[in-house]
Chains A and B, each alone.
Chain A
């Protein structure tokens, strides 16, 4: 098995009430090499987050195989997560829910440092890396804004010394002025830590800004993948074209995107 993340024909199926089955992810094959930044885009409900959860072992695979650094990814149950898989960490969408409100920032960063395989960066270094003051360690999550909390969540994920960092729409609940900044911060922090980054978003402009490679998902399947610029400037699939056409342009003409019914 190669290094990095390897998904081979992975499917995730949800059982719905009434016996119906919903195939959220269908036959997805994806490999992420070490040090690579991959942007995963697609509309809401296309299975992006489910795929991210499956990579972290939060969903069980209905078919296919997934491995990380040569270690098969197993469903996280009541047992402790296997040590090799701890090298894959996730930053969640909602910054208000991703930090324990009753514990100080410092203590929560320490949790991450504890599982670092080598010498973990100190709490002060971590906070500095994401642009926060060292006094933040003594404070509680509710004293921070959404953007600051997302920085803390990134610092916590990086503290573990990850080989793969997954951002599950980490910028979706931030305001527009912050989105690009947090996204570029995530890229630089991940690459500094020697990790690859899987960045999930429905904001194509931000993905273009940070990703080396772009993967487009629709209805649980990958419809197009390739180097970011190539997908951006010469989309092969009709769906990708429509997705690109739906990006609002700030050209002062006040035109709305095409895709409206």
Chain B
């Protein structure tokens, strides 16, 4: 790259607000733009899908298992529902629900991790052993167990995803808090008579949020996959509701009708990929240490 960064390398981009407004270089890379475009596309599809789909997503109005044609662009499924309409309608389950899950688990995990890291001792032990417990199981298996115990359904799937995804936030937050709590600005805040709780919320948390937000962005793709996985196994959304993972599952049963599983699978694939691209660039933008190596200028 011939364009040299106008800001000197010693300044920390995390604290430099002007830099964020000026669109960091990491956000102008092709992968970021591709990721952004894909997500923007799916957001538009999801919004349009609320008001209009070519056919009613639940209507069994067409011949069963007809291949993609001018009339049904992506074909129809085993009970004669239009696949395109169902993918469009599915977008407003498969997109917002994982984002909600990630937001909730970020809040829960960050709060617990921060308390564990700042207050230490018994609280730390209890919370960290809990995360050990959750992390000891393979994610999808534990999510399956939780949904199976609660009964299938979108709400229970959300609870299950929440239960399995908060520990990673708790761990990361705890380690960041442990690093920050000894900082001189935190100590001098305490010396000025600030309570431990205010010290945590005012001095510690705002300064460690960037890596957690990056982790969350990278995790959205993961959450989409997990939710689709649960739906694929019949533990997520209940059947007539259009959902991408459930559609892939239906398609696998009708293997000769390739269009059912393929298009739903492509939808999942593209969204997960796009969120990973965005997460990568966000990390590069917020973490100056990683940026060098990404651009191939590592020492």
A contacts, CB < 8 Å to B: 56, 58, 76, 78-81, 83, 86, 89-90, 92-94, 97-103, 111-112, 114-115, 140-142, 153, 156-157, 160
Contact = CB atoms under 8 A, between A and B. Distances in A.
A163 B191 CA distance: 14
A252 B176 CA distance: 49
Nearest to A99: B185
A86 B192 contact: yes
Interface in B196-229: 196, 202-203, 206-207
Given A78-B196, A80-B194, A140 B189 contact: no
Interface of B: 11-12, 14-17, 119, 183-185, 187-196, 202-203, 206-207
Given A140-B17, A142-B12, A142-B16, A97 B193 contact: no
23 contacts: A78-B119, A78-B196, A80-B194, A80-B196, A81-B191, A83-B193, A86-B192, A86-B193, A90-B188, A92-B184, A92-B188, A98-B185, A99-B185, A100-B185, A100-B189, A100-B203, A100-B207, A102-B207, A115-B192, A141-B15, A142-B12, A142-B16, A160-B192
The A contact surface, by secondary structure, is: loop
A86 B188 CA distance: 11
Contacts of A90: 188, 191
B190 A81 contact: yes
A103 B14 CA distance: 13
B15 A58 contact: no
Contacts of A141: 15
Given A92-B184, A98-B184, A142 B11 contact: yes
**Which of A79, A86, A97 has the most B CB atoms < 10 Å from its CB?**
A97
A201 to B, nearest CB: 17
**Which of B192, B195, B202, B207 has the most A CB atoms < 10 Å from its CB?**
B192
A158 to B, nearest CB: 12
Contact of B184 (A79, A86, A97): A97
Contact of B15 (A89, A112, A140): A140
A109 B14 CA distance: 22
Contacts, number: 71
Nearest to A142: B15
Contacts of A101: 12, 14-15, 185, 207
A107 B129 CA distance: 38
Contact of A115 (B14, B183, B193): B193
A89 B192 CA distance: 8
A153 B188 CA distance: 9
B193 to A, nearest CB: 5
Contact of B193 (A58, A80, A156): A80
Contacts of B119: 78
Contacts of A115: 192-193
Contacts of A140: 15, 17
B188 A156 contact: yes
Contacts of B202: 100, 103
A92 B189 CA distance: 12
Nearest to A153: B188
Contacts of B185: 97-101
Contacts of B192: 81, 86, 89, 111-112, 114-115, 156, 160
Contacts of A86: 191-193
B245 to A, nearest CB: 40
